[in-house]
Amino acid sequence: MRPYIILTLCLLLLGVLFFYDKDNDIDANGTLTKENIKLKNELEEKNLKIQDQEREISELRLKILELEDNIEKKDKKIVELENKLKYYSGRDPKALIRKEDVSYLVSKICSGINHTECEKKIFYYVRDGIRYERDILGLEVWQSPVETLKIKTGDCEDKAILLGSMLRSINPPEDVFVNVGTRGNYGHVWITLNGKILEPYDKNPFEFHQQASYEIFYRFNDVYLNFSYSSVTSS
């Protein structure tokens, strides 16, 4: 009888050990599975971050290439401007009024119309046909009429020199001047035609009535160069 009891107890003990180990394996396996899932998710997140960073790096490289290209273009422009500055340094501004270089264009614009209408058409041609664009890097370079007509851009003095040249081709030198000075608190260049202020910028009309204070430092055309230092007001 006693051996059977001992055998039974042994079997019960083995059963307990078996089920206990099995439960432990399940828990252990379950824990490992969750950790694997967690690690896998973390790895995927890191891979996504790496891909995002690689895209950002690629975009930055493209921007760097674009900036380098822009810098190269600006360097070339600076060299061009420096060469122009050397060319114009010390030159008489009267030489910039080149009526002979624009007379053909004036004849074409003014074909079949009277003198007053011709002046208006010349004004609107320069106002609307030449896009206003500042000199880069604050370097003031005065373009000849031919240059301005070629590139179709220029700032106040470039448009004034072109307009002055075109108006001089149909008017005596006493009537047309390029004026250099200030308007308000800013340096400016404008045209006077028979004493009337012309501003070929934005959408200013030929009959210019905007109230503004002008300080003239000097004025010129192809014949005269006058230093006046006088104040005028448009009306």
Phi, psi of 152, deg, nearest 5: 60, 20
The DSSP letter of residue 133 is -
By residue count, the chain amounts to 235
Which residues on adjacent β-strands are paired with residue 190?
179
pLDDT digits (tens, 9 = 90+) for 117-158: 999 999 999 999 999 988 776 667 889 999 999 999 999 999
pLDDT digits (tens, 9 = 90+) for 147-195: 999 999 999 999 999 999 999 999 999 999 999 988 888 888 999 999 8
pLDDT digits (tens, 9 = 90+) for 43-53: 888 888 898 88
The DSSP letter of residue 201 is S
DSSP H helices, 92-179, are 99-109, 115-129, 145-151, 156-168
Phi, psi of 166, deg, nearest 5: -70, -40
**C-alpha dist (Å) from residue 196 to 1, 111, 174, 191, 209:** 138, 24, 13, 8, 10
Q: Which of 185, 181, 184, 208 is nearest to 196 (CA)?
A: 208
